[in-house]
């Protein structure tokens, strides 16, 4: 729900902490490939557009050359695999474009793995939907008051003030160059946002749970040239509670490195997305991550 630095949520969530190699999501269609067509909605969700036309490329990290390929625009359909020795590989399909994104996760059965799921965000429909396993489809409305934020190769409009509202929860946040923050409130008596009154998880398993009333923020301490535009640099992500849990995220060139002490995100994850549209990464828990745009 926090967008986890926007579409980088999909990357940071992979292989972190919960035993699920990929973030599980909710209903909504897996959108069409990079021919600009919208995806077919599943369970009532609107498919994300995956148009080939993207935003202007960010300045290349190496010395000012104009970005090209996936260094300029990540729009399209991505096949993603996460594997670890001794475990069956998990796979997913991520579709991203100016109109939104969708995630479909296909996990082998197992007691520590999140079940198959879909997550979809549609900027046009102003909503997110998700469905996991046999659970009901959940819908979250999304409102945005835009503000400038150059996300480089990420084709989504991320900047400005955000509000996300479900039946029981509401989150408000902002995204700008140098600061991303979010605070969530729940009408239920549960300690965590995303739980119902009986403690059952009602948002995607594998995503960290936010504490009711707590503010989470990521603050950039130093800028760096990156294919992700204003997101380039060194970030410290933490809450306003004195828990001692945090993540240091470095985005430099084509590479994102996250070092976290937070529960369910503990460890070091590194992901590189080349301008040849091939992604690779590792996690110190033993996961190897790979992805390729179709």
Using the structure block, give the residue that is written with the tokens 């603050």.
Answer: 219
Query: What is the rounded distance in angstroms from the CA atom of residue 245 to the CA atom of residue 197?
Result: 26
Q: Which helix (H) or strand (E) segment is 12 a member of?
A: helix 9-12
Q: Write down how long the chain is.
A: 294
SS3 category, 6: helix
Query: DSSP letter at 230?
Result: G
**Among 91, 75, 81, residue whose Cα is nearest residue 31:** 75
Using an 8 Å Cβ cutoff, are 249 and 265 in contact?
no
The pLDDT of residue 43: 35
Using an 8 Å Cβ cutoff, are 32 and 47 in contact?
yes
The pLDDT of residue 35: 34
Using the structure block, give the residue that is written with the tokens 């301008």.
Answer: 275
Query: pLDDT of the chain along its 294 residues, tens only?
Result: 333 333 333 333 333 333 333 433 333 333 333 333 333 333 333 333 333 333 333 344 444 456 779 999 999 999 999 898 888 888 999 999 999 999 998 876 555 556 678 899 999 999 999 887 777 888 899 999 999 999 999 999 999 999 999 888 889 999 999 999 999 998 777 788 877 655 566 666 666 778 889 999 999 999 999 999 999 999 999 999 878 889 999 999 999 999 998 766 789 999 999 999 999 999 888 889 999 999
The pLDDT of residue 112: 56
Query: What is the rounded distance in angstroms from the CA atom of residue 234 to the CA atom of residue 266?
Result: 18
Using the structure block, give the residue that is written with the tokens 């990929």.
Answer: 22
- Give the residues across from 186 on adjacent strands: 169
The pLDDT of residue 252: 97
Read off φ and ψ for residue 40, nearest 5 degrees: -80, 125
Query: What is the rounded distance in angstroms from the CA atom of residue 113 to the CA atom of residue 111?
Result: 6
Using an 8 Å Cβ cutoff, are 149 and 160 in contact?
yes
Read off φ and ψ for residue 82, nearest 5 degrees: -125, 130
The pLDDT of residue 216: 94
The pLDDT of residue 118: 87
- Give the residues across from 270 on adjacent strands: 257, 282
Query: What is the rounded distance in angstroms from the CA atom of residue 80 to the CA atom of residue 94?
Result: 7
The pLDDT of residue 206: 62
Read off φ and ψ for residue 98, nearest 5 degrees: -60, -25
**Among 41, 34, 38, residue whose Cα is nearest residue 49:** 38
């Amino acid at each position: 729900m926090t967008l986890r630095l926007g579409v980088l949520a999909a990357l940071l969530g992979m292989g972190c902490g919960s035993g699920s190699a990929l973030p599980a999501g909710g209903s909504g269609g897996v959108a069409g490939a990079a021919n600009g067509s919208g995806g077919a909605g599943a369970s009532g969700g609107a498919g994300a557009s995956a148009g080939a036309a993207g935003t202007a490329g960010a300045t290349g990290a190496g010395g000012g050359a104009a970005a090209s390929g996936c260094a300029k625009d990540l729009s399209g359909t991505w096949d993603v695999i996460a594997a670890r020795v001794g475990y069956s590989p998990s796979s997913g399909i991520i579709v991203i474009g100016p109109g939104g994104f969708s995630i479909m996760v296909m996990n082998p059965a197992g007691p520590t793995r999140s079940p198959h799921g879909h997550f979809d965000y549609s900027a046009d429909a102003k909503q997110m939907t998700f469905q996991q396993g046999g659970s009901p489809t959940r819908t979250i409305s999304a409102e945005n008051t835009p503000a400038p934020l150059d996300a480089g190769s990420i084709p989504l409009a991320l900047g400005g003030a955000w509000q996300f509202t479900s039946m029981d929860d509401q989150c408000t946040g902002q995204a700008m160059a140098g600061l991303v923050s979010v605070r969530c409130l729940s009408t239920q008596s549960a300690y965590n946002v995303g739980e119902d009154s009986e403690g059952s998880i009602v948002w995607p398993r594998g995503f960290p749970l936010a504490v009711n009333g707590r503010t989470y923020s990521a603050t950039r301490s130093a800028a760096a040239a990156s294919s992700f535009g204003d997101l380039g640099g060194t970030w410290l992500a933490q809450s306003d509670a004195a828990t001692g849990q945090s993540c240091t995220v470095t985005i430099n060139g084509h590479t994102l490195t996250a070092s976290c002490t937070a529960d369910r995100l503990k460890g070091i994850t590194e992901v590189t997305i080349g301008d040849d549209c091939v992604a690779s990464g590792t996690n110190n828990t033993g996961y190897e991550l790979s992805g390729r745009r179709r």
